[in-house]
A and B are shown apart, each in its own frame.
Chain A
């Protein structure tokens, strides 16, 4: 009887352990410090999204490889720099080039025990050249981990 009781207690205790051994790790998201931009027609009086044809985008200071290489897109995800307060990108549209300067501040944040740390950004201002870009508007200033908002609207001719 005692042996049966010991066996029963151990079995029940082991059953409690099963959920603990089966817990799943949290999925950690990547590229969460990228400004999300959308292209809109500068000729329309209301926001009308538009595509940028066969264009390339790359960062400068220091110069980097293309984020987009001869692609057609309406939305861009532009990663912000951890080292500098201003991140600069060049958009090359069939040899017509415009430059965007994103001035930003950052704050370190703790995500979770699985994923560690990240930076959340606030976009302070955006400067731009006006070759084919008409104007730029900041819609959502905060670039935060796990949030998915269009931060900046770029109006093009």
Chain B
């Protein structure tokens, strides 16, 4: 019996020592990040009618599992011949990301992140003027009062993340978003759903370009 206990203690001690050795070799940073998603400002370069930005955090739940939370806003204002449009809205996105990078160099803190997220947007939109051209009889002009819309969606994301400087990361992600519910009672579809994209479509692709700083809670 004593011999059995002695061997068992030795076995568990050896496991403990081994795990300590492994932890020393593969040092995984743990903590949370504060970051900015530059997709909004970049979108504005191509479409000046849109104004938006979002901020996010990633939290290590496990070595290869992250919680991600993001919040931001996006406003759209334009005046076309057919109609004028105003939309102000905010969104949140929460979910999880997994690091699927198979083999890392020693000391590397780079990731290949694949994630699943839930998104929610709340926006108010309206048209202060619209025109329906007839071409023969009188044209029709009118206005559409503002209405509030909730949109829910699910999205898949994937992309690399790299540590450029100590605790400073840069990443880009491709997002595939599917709208699952919307309470739009208006005739007019949202031009842009904040955080989701084209309001005419239930399926959207998008990108994010993130700079983030990590605040570690373990060494």
Give A contacts to B, CB under 8 Å: 2, 5-6, 9, 12-13, 16-17, 20-21, 28, 30-31, 33, 59, 64, 67, 79-83, 87, 108-110, 112-113, 115-119
- Chain A interface, DSSP helix/strand/loop, else mixed: mixed
Contacts of B46 in A (CB 8 A): 17, 20-21
* B172:A5 contact, CB within 8 angstroms: no
* A79:B136 contact, CB within 8 angstroms: yes
- Tell whether B27 is near chain A: CB-to-CB under 8 Å: no
Give Cα A35–Cα B130 distance, bound, in whole angstroms: 23
Which of the segments B5-13, B15-23, B115-123, B183-191 contacts the partner chain?
Answer: B183-191
Give Cα A13–Cα B42 distance, bound, in whole angstroms: 11
* A119:B132 contact, CB within 8 angstroms: yes
Number of A-B contacts (CB under 8 A): 80
Q: Tell which of A9, A79, A113 has the most Cβ of chain B within 10 Å.
A: A113
* A59:B191 contact, CB within 8 angstroms: no
Closest to B135 in A: A31
Closest to B188 in A: A110
* B189:A59 contact, CB within 8 angstroms: no
Contacts of A2 in B (CB 8 A): 164-165
Q: Tell which of B131, B136, B138 has the most Cβ of chain A within 10 Å.
A: B136
Shortest B167–chain A CB gap in Å is: 14
CB interface residues, B 133-191, toward A, < 8 Å: 133-140, 160, 162, 164-165, 170, 172, 174, 187-189, 191
Given A6-B170, A116-B130, A117-B82, 15 new contacts (CB under 8 A): A2-B164, A2-B165, A9-B172, A13-B207, A16-B174, A59-B137, A79-B136, A79-B137, A81-B134, A82-B134, A108-B187, A109-B187, A113-B200, A117-B130, A119-B132
19 contacts between A and B (CB under 8 A): A9-B162, A17-B42, A17-B46, A20-B207, A21-B46, A30-B133, A33-B134, A64-B137, A82-B139, A83-B140, A87-B137, A108-B187, A110-B188, A110-B189, A113-B189, A113-B200, A117-B82, A117-B187, A117-B188
Give Cα A17–Cα B132 distance, bound, in whole angstroms: 34
- Tell whether B67 is near chain A: CB-to-CB under 8 Å: no
